[in-house]
Chain A
């Protein structure tokens, strides 16, 4: 009788937790290593890249992967590995930059909406709901149509498309905190509202946001690669992953490596930020 549950029981909480703790460790270390490597690529590409990413060598064009060119060369004889390494800086720039902007504007909108309440809140959240329901890629495309193509414009377009999500989270967080004991206490003690806002409400909304923004970086990298794949990003000789992929697509039959390796790097960047983001999220929720 005591072991009623065992034949068909799903593991209970304790064992689940143990599994979770054991499960992600090697994955997290791997993700952190990959991300560290990509960071080095992004910050000091010349340390990693063996060749000039723009250096033409027509005698060496369309060579498959070999010891001298581990990812092969493209139609102009440029070393794919060097180009992919240099591409990391663009993706990190857009990933981190867009997320930072989106988080900051999201905080501003969410705080205003949550603190003021009333019709301001209603109007803000109505617009946010509409924007959230809208395909973010199409929204970014409309913004690029407005700003023009280019890497910084892509960054802004992705940031704008990501703002509503962050604003919504900040606002719901503010609503919870606004009614909590310590805010009440600060109010009773006669603190000016602005000070309450900055000292008590704001710091408590930032925590969950930092967690979510690590996940946001991955999706911003994905979006930036998509937009530049569509030809809305930097112009050709730039070694940007999405752009390299679309250039390589014309050579699929002759040289698959031109398009495939930039995608491998993009995938690695997205997986590693996502894995780390999830880990930080689980950790902050006390699950690890």
Chain B
């Protein structure tokens, strides 16, 4: 365990420069963008005189030089202060904290479902590479992989929410229902069924393909032949020897997909009108709220780093070779 902790510590320290590069890069990208939040605000209120513009720029600190503002930004970031959203007129940190749980529920349950069903179906396909079942699963997963998530979400909502009326079409919970405790939790779950399935189905395909490909490789290795020669049952060979060894790359993929899952939830949240982190990103772009967009990018970078650290930890626990050399040096 000590080895794993040391690995995490090392990763945490090396992620600080990464975060700094992200912050500086995004800052200058948004800095160069034509028109700032004050322009967007003026358009929304129908223009204003020069004095008002001057006053607004001053109050948001936009009259200072870019470097000064970058310095202010980075130093307040160190105090976990993400600044002030122009579009929402609220502190950004609070806004993100309020939206983030919805996205984490969505991503977390979709990832878990995709991982469990994806690997299970992958084992089914990889148990007999080339069989009919394998071919059907491969074609199915290719189709799922290519479907745009928002379209899948839309079709699911047409079928299950509009035609069959089994589930709500949008939102995270029934508005002003006054539900509390368990009842409220059930309500939220009912709202999340469709978006989670839409997101999970697409990533399921990825895990399925990876698991199947890994297993097809492992079937050819010597230890499988040895297991077969020992007279082990097929089920035991498939599960204990082949599937188990094919699982490691799938776990790596779990970490790599965390980032694209975050991107995928941006779209799904828009389809189902879920007030989450991704929808906030869209709102930030359309309102030209640079500080908010910046905060979102920083938080998602942190999120991706944290998920990858967790994956590293799982990996270190599963595979004793990982991190051994680093810890020894």
Contact = CB atoms under 8 A, between A and B. Distances in A.
What does DSSP make chain B's interface, helix, strand, loop or mixed?
helix
Contacts of A266: 148, 151
A282 B31 CA distance: 44
Interface string A243-287: 001100100110010011001101100110011000000000000
Given A134-B22, A245-B150, A274 B145 contact: yes
Nearest to B159: A256
Contact of A134 (B135, B259, B290): B259
Contact of A138 (B234, B262, B290): B262
A114 B305 CA distance: 27
Contact of A249 (B154, B281, B293): B154
A5 B237 CA distance: 13
Interface stretch (A10-18, A43-51, A61-69, A193-201): A10-18
Contacts of A245: 150-151, 154
A222 B148 contact: yes
Contacts, number: 155
A136 B162 contact: no
A16 B266 CA distance: 40
Contacts of B139: 27
Nearest to B143: A271
Interface stretch (A78-86, A99-107, A141-149, A172-180): A141-149
Contacts of B2: none
Interface of B: 18, 21-22, 26, 29-30, 32-34, 128-130, 135, 139, 142-143, 145-151, 154-155, 157-158, 162, 169, 216, 219-220, 228-229, 234, 237, 256, 259-260, 262-264, 266-267, 270-271, 281-282, 284-286, 288, 290, 293, 296-297, 300-301, 304-305, 308
- Top 10 closest pairs, chain A to chain B, by CB: A263-B151, A137-B263, A135-B263, A271-B146, A270-B146, A146-B33, A8-B234, A10-B219, A135-B262, A11-B130
Interface of A: 4-5, 7-11, 13, 15-16, 19, 23, 27, 126-127, 130, 133-138, 141-148, 218, 222, 225-226, 229-232, 242, 245-246, 249, 252-253, 256, 259-260, 263-264, 266-267, 270-271, 274-275
Given A225-B150, A275-B142, 14 more contacts: A7-B234, A10-B130, A19-B130, A23-B135, A135-B266, A138-B281, A141-B266, A145-B30, A222-B146, A225-B148, A230-B270, A242-B150, A245-B151, A274-B142
